[in-house]
């Protein structure tokens, strides 16, 4: 079965902490250069830059999954991945409905820039994207699944905004996978019974693909990714770097 | 101090563990990061938090805490209550915020865990 490299956690300039050079165009170019077949755009609680990313990826032969990194009420970050723009749009509506009120202060937190395929600035997202939703972790994961998505616990090895830091440990049967950051140690999480992936959590082009997972599956698509995470039909995770 | 007295003085509501309200409260701890509670809260402490996830029950059991007080009028999740009942862990609800609850406990003579 063929193998594909995937980096399932990448921020763009829409995230307040995203580098101002981190346009969908630069992300797709970096992914292409580093041999990634499948990537996901996962800005904090927002997805307005997903459309150009998906289109640019298609032109380069890279599958770009539209997604978000959603903040739960416990301030746990969850990577939510979807198969198409309609599903991410449904989740986006739910997130905006449940996101705490407030307006972003770009001078303090960073600019939240919405761009097109050619890096033209279309506007700013004025919401407080660094804030939390009032969805507890189970409610959040249930919504991701309702909209046909995958819910991956972000950077479980890290001491902030992770299941481990906020909720002490990871109970079984909640997520579709756990994500390790580029330097996270596998041993601590291998026994939990979850598939483990590694992603970059890149905020600038140089970091795209800094962490990636190798999936054995028929083609680099969302449907195949779902099956690979479940280890169905000979598909699976071959390793990561 | 007996937990029952704390409940009475602070006007708390027991959401679970009604059979274990005679426990002795030895100290108090306030935190919303469960990893921090696991590392620092001592046995017999009453823990004040806004977290409502079922993992709070496991942390209380692990650290042998006397009880948990959920503040700001937040409701524990349904599986949090069922797990607490299974463990015999008192879950108490307070309408007040964590600062005020800790202040009231301090007035009753309860001090910070490990202090």
Contact between A16 and A112 (Cβ < 8 Å): yes
In Å, what is the CA distance from B67 to each residue of A191, B2, B47, B74, B78? Answer: 30, 11, 6, 16, 17
Report residue B73 as tokens: 């009028």
Q: Counting one residue from A and one from B, how many pairs have CB atoms under 8 Å apart?
A: 34
Per-residue pLDDT tens for A33-46?
Answer: 999 999 999 999 99
Give pLDDT, residue B113: 82
Cβ contact, residue pair A168, B38, below 8 Å = yes
Q: What is the mean pLDDT of chain B?
A: 95
Q: How far apart are CA A7 and CA A26, in angstroms?
A: 15
Interface of B with A in 3-32 (CB under 8 A): 32
Nearest-angstrom CA–CA distance, A10 and B62: 36
Secondary structure (DSSP) of B32-53:
S-HHHHHHHPPTTEEEEES--S
Q: Classify residue B87 by burial, with Cβ atoms within 10 Å: 0-12, 13-18, 19+.
A: middle
pTM of the predicted protein model: 0.91
Q: Which residues contact A102 (CB under 8 A, 6 or more apart)?
A: A127, A128, A131
Task: State how far the Cα of A8 lies from the Cα of A42, in Å rounded to an integer.
Answer: 8
Q: Residues in chain A whose beta carbon is closer than 8 A to a beta carbon of chain B?
A: 74, 136-138, 159, 164-169, 171
Q: Is B102 helix (H, G, I), strand (E, B) or coil?
A: helix
User: Contact B55/A168, CB-based, under 8 Å?
Assistant: yes
- Work out the minimum CA distance from B52 to partner chain A, whole angstroms: 8
Of A157-161, A235-239, B88-92, B111-115, give the lowest mean pLDDT range.
Answer: B111-115
Tokens (6 digits) for A221: 């698509």
**pLDDT above 60: residue B115:** no
- CB distance A166–B34 less than 8 Å? yes
- Could you report the predicted ipTM of this complex, rounded to two decimals? 0.77
Q: Do A167 and B38 touch (CB under 8 A)?
A: no
Provide φ and ψ at A180, rounded to 5°: -100, 145
The answer to whether residue A160 scores a pLDDT higher than 50 is yes
For residue range A177-231, list pLDDT tens digits in order.
Answer: 999 999 999 998 999 999 999 999 999 999 999 999 999 999 999 999 999 999 9
Mutate to test the interface with A, among B34, B68, B81, B82 (most CBs of A within 10 A): B34
Q: Can you tell me the mean pLDDT for A26-35?
A: 98
Nearest C-alpha in A relative to B79: A138
Query: Residue A30: what are its φ and ψ, rounded to 5°?
Result: -65, -40
Cβ-defined contact of A136 to B53 (cutoff 8 Å): yes
Residues contacting A86, CB < 8 A, separation 6+: none
Q: What is the pLDDT of residue A104?
A: 93
Instruction: In whole angstroms, give the CA distance from residue A189 to residue B45.
Output: 29
First to last CA, chain B: 17
A-proximal residues of B, 57-96, CB under 8 Å: 58-59, 77
In A, minimum Cα distance to B56 occurs at A167
User: A175 to chain B: which residues are within 8 Å by CB?
Assistant: none
Cβ of A168 within 8 Å of Cβ of B54? The answer is: no
DSSP 8-state assignment for residue A150: E
């Amino acid at each position: 079965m063929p193998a594909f490299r995937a980096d399932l956690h990448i921020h763009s300039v829409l995230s307040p902490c995203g580098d101002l050079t981190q346009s969908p165009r630069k992300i797709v170019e970096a992914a292409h250069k580093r041999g990634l077949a499948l990537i996901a755009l996962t800005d904090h609680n927002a997805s307005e830059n997903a459309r150009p990313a998906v289109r640019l990826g298609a032109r380069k032969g890279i599958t770009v999954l539209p997604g978000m990194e959603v903040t739960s009420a416990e301030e746990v970050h969850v990577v939510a991945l979807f198969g198409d723009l309609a599903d991410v749009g449904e989740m986006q509506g739910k997130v905006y409905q449940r996101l705490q009120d407030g307006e972003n202060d770009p001078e303090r937190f960073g600019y939240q820039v919405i761009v097109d395929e050619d890096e033209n600035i279309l506007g700013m997202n004025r919401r407080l994207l660094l804030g939390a939703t009032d969805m507890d972790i189970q409610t959040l994961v249930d919504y991701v699944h309702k909209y046909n998505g995958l819910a991956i616990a972000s950077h479980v090895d890290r001491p902030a905004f992770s299941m481990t830091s906020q909720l002490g440990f990871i109970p079984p049967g909640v997520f579709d996978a756990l994500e390790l950051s580029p330097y996270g140690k596998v041993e601590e999480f291998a026994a939990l019974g979850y598939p483990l992936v590694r992603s970059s959590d890149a905020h600038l082009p140089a970091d795209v693909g800094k962490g990636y997972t190798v999936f054995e599956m028929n083609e680099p698509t969302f449907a195949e990714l779902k099956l690979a995470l479940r280890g169905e039909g000979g598909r699976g995770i071959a390793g990561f770097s | 101090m007996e937990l029952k007295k704390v409940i009475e003085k602070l006007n708390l509501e027991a959401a679970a563990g009604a059979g274990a309200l005679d426990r002795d409260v030895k100290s108090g701890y306030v935190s919303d990061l469960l990893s921090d509670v696991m590392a620092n809260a001592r046995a017999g402490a009453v823990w004040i938090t806004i977290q409502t996830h079922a993992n709070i029950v496991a942390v209380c059991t692990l650290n042998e805490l006397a009880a948990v007080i959920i503040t700001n009028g937040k409701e524990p999740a349904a599986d949090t209550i069922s797990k607490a009942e299974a463990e015999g862990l008192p879950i108490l609800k307070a309408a007040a915020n964590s600062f005020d609850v800790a202040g009231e406990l301090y007035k009753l003579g309860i001090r910070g865990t490990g202090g």
